[in-house]
């Protein structure tokens, strides 16, 4: 069996550790803030375990970052020259770049559900856009804190999405959109027999 680690998984692991250390948190403090066990966080940071979408949602919420921000920060740091300032620094400013080919954006797959996520915009762009492919039968929950300080729209491109927003359930078909309101626990579920493809578009708030 190969011991090679997916480059994007390694970048995410490194970014989680950077965000934790930037706040001067111990593993135990991040565990308390996120609800993810200390042992699991330790394995993720060491690249010994690939986090699921649900775990990334909890860790992002603890950092008061969106999942999209966490991915963009991870990719941005990896693309920066070794002697450059931290390209993923929340205080940094950079200009959006031109053409970004499909192959340039890394795709991440949730090991638990097969959910696939591709970041469309880079770190320097003021709006975050991600393309999601949710397999038939998959269900991905996120805590309310993962949506704090964000304005977000979900746009279904293909298939059917069952979207839980707190106690409300929305059945969305291709072409449907939903603009999200106040933060609440949310679940993206595909109850159909075919893959669902949707886009998540959000405006970044103030980063901690």
d(CA 78, CA 1): 26
pLDDT at 157 over 70: yes
What distances in angstroms separate CA 52 from CA 39, 107, 141, one per listed residue?
15, 14, 11
pLDDT tier for residue 81 given thresholds of 50, 70 and 90: very low
The 8 Å CB, 24+ separation contacts for 175-181 are 177/153, 178/153, 178/154, 179/151, 179/152, 179/153, 180/147, 180/150, 180/151, 180/152, 180/153, 180/154
Tens of pLDDT, residues 189-203: 999 999 999 999 988
Instruction: Using a pLDDT cut of 90, give the percent of the chain over it.
Output: 52
Q: How many CA within 13 A on the CB side of residue 193?
A: 0
Q: Which residue(s) pair with 28 in the sheet?
A: none
Task: Give the SS3 label for residue 16.
Answer: helix
Q: Give me the chain's average pLDDT, please.
A: 83
Backbone angles phi and psi of 157, in degrees to 5: -95, -45
**Residue 144, pLDDT score:** 86
* Structural domains of the chain sorted by starting position, each given as residue range(s) with its CATH number in brackets: 7-203 (2.60.120.10)
Band (pLDDT 50/70/90 cuts) for residue 204 is: low
Question: What is the per-residue burial (b if ≥16 Cβ within 10 Å, else e) of 165-194?
Answer: beeeeeebeeebebebeebeebebbbeeee
Mean pLDDT of 81-91: 39
Give the pLDDT confidence of 118-143 residue by residue, as tens digits.
988 877 778 889 999 999 999 999 98
Q: What is the DSSP string of 53-96?
A: HHHHHHHHHHHT--HHHHHHHHHHHHHS-TTS--TT-TT---PP
pLDDT of 95 higher than 90 = no
Task: Quote the CA–CA distance of 41 and 49 in Å, as a whole number.
Answer: 9
How confident is residue 103, by pLDDT bands cut at 50, 70 and 90? confident
The confidence score (pLDDT) of residue 68 equals 78
This prediction has a pTM of 0.79
Higher pLDDT, 181 or 33: 33
Q: Which two tokens stand for residue 165?
A: 């927003």
Kindly list the distances between the CA atom of residue 43 and the CA atoms of 4, 22, 40, 111, 166, in Å, as whole numbers in the listed order.
Answer: 15, 19, 5, 15, 31
**Which residues lie across from 155 on neighbouring strands?**
177, 199
pLDDT the model gives residue 187: 96
Query: In sequence order, what DSSP letters do the residues of 112-135 get, joined into one string?
Result: TT--EEEE-S-TTSSEEEEEEEE-
pLDDT digits (tens, 9 = 90+) for 27-79: 999 999 999 999 999 999 998 888 999 999 899 999 988 887 888 788 765 44
Confidence of residue 205 (pLDDT cuts 50, 70, 90): low
SS3 of 73, please? helix
């Amino acid at each position: 069996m190969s011991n090679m680690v997916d480059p994007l998984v390694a970048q995410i692991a490194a970014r989680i550790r950077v965000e934790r250390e930037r706040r001067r948190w111990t593993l135990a403090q991040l565990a308390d803030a996120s609800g993810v066990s200390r042992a699991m966080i330790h394995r993720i940071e060491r690249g010994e375990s690939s986090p699921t979408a649900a775990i990334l949602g909890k860790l992002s919420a603890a950092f008061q970052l969106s999942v999209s921000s966490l991915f963009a920060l991870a990719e941005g740091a990896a693309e920066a020259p070794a002697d450059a300032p931290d390209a993923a620094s929340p205080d940094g400013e950079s200009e959006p770049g031109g053409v970004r080919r499909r192959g340039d954006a890394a795709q991440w797959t949730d090991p638990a559900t097969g959910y696939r996520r591709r970041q469309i915009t880079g770190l320097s762009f003021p709006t975050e856009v991600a393309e999601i492919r949710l397999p038939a039968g998959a269900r991905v929950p996120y805590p309310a804190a993962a949506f704090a300080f964000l304005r977000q729209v979900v746009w279904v491109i293909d298939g059917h999405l069952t979207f839980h927003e707190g106690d409300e359930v929305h059945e969305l078909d291709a072409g449907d959109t939903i603009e999200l309101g106040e933060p609440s626990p949310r679940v993206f579920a595909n109850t159909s027999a075919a893959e669902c493809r949707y886009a998540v578009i959000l405006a970044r708030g103030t980063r901690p």
